[in-house]
Amino acid sequence: MENLQNKKESILESALVLINEQGFHGCPVSKVAKNAGVAAGSIYTYFDSKEELIMGVFEYVSEKIKEYVSSKDDESMEYEIRFFNYWKNYTEYFELNPAHHGFYDQFVNSPFHSENSQLKPNGWHEWANQFFQSGIDSGAIKYINPTVLAILVNSNINSVVRIKNNFKNRFAEKNVNLEEISSLIWEGIRNK
Amino acid sequence: MENLQNKKESILESALVLINEQGFHGCPVSKVAKNAGVAAGSIYTYFDSKEELIMGVFEYVSEKIKEYVSSKDDESMEYEIRFFNYWKNYTEYFELNPAHHGFYDQFVNSPFHSENSQLKPNGWHEWANQFFQSGIDSGAIKYINPTVLAILVNSNINSVVRIKNNFKNRFAEKNVNLEEISSLIWEGIRNK
DNA sequence: ATGCTATGATTGAACGTTCATTCAGTTATG
DNA sequence: CATAACTGAATGAACGTTCAATCATAGCAT
């Protein structure tokens, strides 16, 4: 049983890495299988089609993000602290898992996301919505539709991570202090 | 000659629309040709390969954005005004050309962008860099690497447009006033 | 312990389809 | 008449998916 989970996960990770490196058009099932160390046919034991596999990767990554970020949230803290923690932890997750970031960035901007998957429940999105909703409820932030808030905050985090990844050693000095961006956004959304 | 330009442009637009709707994996040369009203083989009169065609679409869109935004910039104005104009015009361009936005969003987050095309000179990116550089030079904004600045500002604009497009009629009321986001970013980057 | 059987996972060659690309022939242009 | 654009059927490679055959496991009987 545990072995099955491992195999499924290694297929997901293999697809993830290939999509990160080559894009959706560059991840044939044959390569996914090879890198996962299984036969091509075996993938169809776990997924009905390649499309389902890609959707599976999205659910897998979403779940991992949710686990990481939610486990580090502390509801008893002041909301401002929680916000900056959220920012830090989400950033941290992507820095620890750059391939996940690459996949996620591609997926959410692709037609995969708009058509099929936005209807399915997504634990991470629900958690993030709830996170911002509780900020509104507690009076810490302005009333802004929490879905819109989540998209805005998360896409800024994504940009920051992308900048950090792409420009790692190119111009480390004299940059904007990227951490300041979180304060900037906070100033914009908090209830004054 | 003009006819040639038109044909090339209709191939580019056809590819653009297909990629926007179906993603890179869903735009076979045969369909691109069909929708452009040319034979499949004709595409190879204008582009050496499908990859070159996709790169061509990127250059085409970049050029269009640059034309639109730069033509509406007025260097004699105060920089703050120019910044808000930049924001407004870039947003406007994508609202007028939603397929261009869909393509651009996908392309810049894909491996196409990181590998090949970031080395090629890009008129729009150069113009935007210069735009932010002149803000720094004039003392209107803090010293921040202009490339980083451009990425941050542009990805916020992209998010705002994406929200507007995706949620058009779903919850128009009671939202964050999306225009406020520009002020928020301006407050963060201006020299105080 | 040992052998037998049933169940289900796993394999990879084979299949039919679709794709990017080519090219011999045709048409338009000046 | 020469040049260049244009066509679309042809080509072969690559792809997603299937499936008959093989293997691993666990339960049960001896």
Measure CB to CB from residue B23 to each of A112, A162, A184 and give the nearest one.
A112
Residue B173 lies in a domain: yes
Long-range CB contact pairs, A133-141, < 8 A, 24+: A134/A75, A134/A79, A135/A79, A135/A82, A135/A83, A138/A79, A139/A191, A140/A78, A140/A79, A140/A80, A140/A83, A140/A190, A140/A191, A141/A79, A141/A83, A141/A189, A141/A190, A141/A191
Is there a single domain that holds both residue A41 and residue A72? no
Is there a single domain that holds both residue B151 and residue B177? yes
Is there a single domain that holds both residue A72 and residue A139? yes
Does residue A119 have a pLDDT over 90?
no
Q: What's the structural domain count of chain B? A: 2
Q: What is the CATH number of the domain that holds A23?
A: 1.10.10.60
Mean of pLDDT values over B86-103: 97
Does residue A168 have a pLDDT over 90?
no
At B177 the pLDDT is 74
Measure CB to CB from residue A184 to each of B167, B180, B184 and give the nearest one.
B184
Most A-contacting residue of B118, B159, B170, B171 (CB-CB within 10 A), to test interface = B159
Residue A54 lies in a domain: no
Mean of pLDDT values over B34-42: 96
CA B134 → C1' D17, Å?
57
Residue A2: pLDDT band by 50, 70, 90 thresholds?
very low
Does residue B67 have a pLDDT over 80?
yes
Q: What is the CATH number of the domain that holds B141?
A: 1.10.357.10
Q: What percent of chain B has pLDDT over 70?
A: 92
Residue A134 lies in a domain: yes
Domain carrying residue B29? 1-47
- Residue-wise pLDDT for A58-114, tens only, equals 999 999 999 999 999 999 999 999 999 999 999 999 999 999 999 999 999 999 997
At A1 the pLDDT is 34
Half-sphere exposure of B100 (CA within 13 A, CB side): 18
Is there a single domain that holds both residue B84 and residue B21? no
At A169 the pLDDT is 61
Does residue B87 have a pLDDT over 70?
yes
> Which single residue is written with the structure tokens 């099955």?
A4
CA B42 → C1' D9, Å?
14
Lowest-confidence pick of B9-13, B110-114, B139-143: B110-114
Half-sphere exposure of A72 (CA within 13 A, CB side): 17
Lowest-confidence pick of A138-147, B92-101, B123-132, B168-177: B168-177
Average per-residue pLDDT in chain A? 91
* Token code pair at residue A69: 């970020």
Which residues on adjacent β-strands are paired with residue A141?
Answer: A190
Residue B69 lies in a domain: yes
Task: Tell me the chain B residues in contact with residue A174 when contact means C-beta distances shorter than 8 Å.
Answer: 143, 145
Is there a single domain that holds both residue A37 and residue A66? no
B182 lies within 8 A of chain A by CB: no
Mean of pLDDT values over B28-39: 96
Q: Could A176 and B26 be called an inter-chain contact, meaning their C-beta atoms sit closer than 8 Å?
A: no
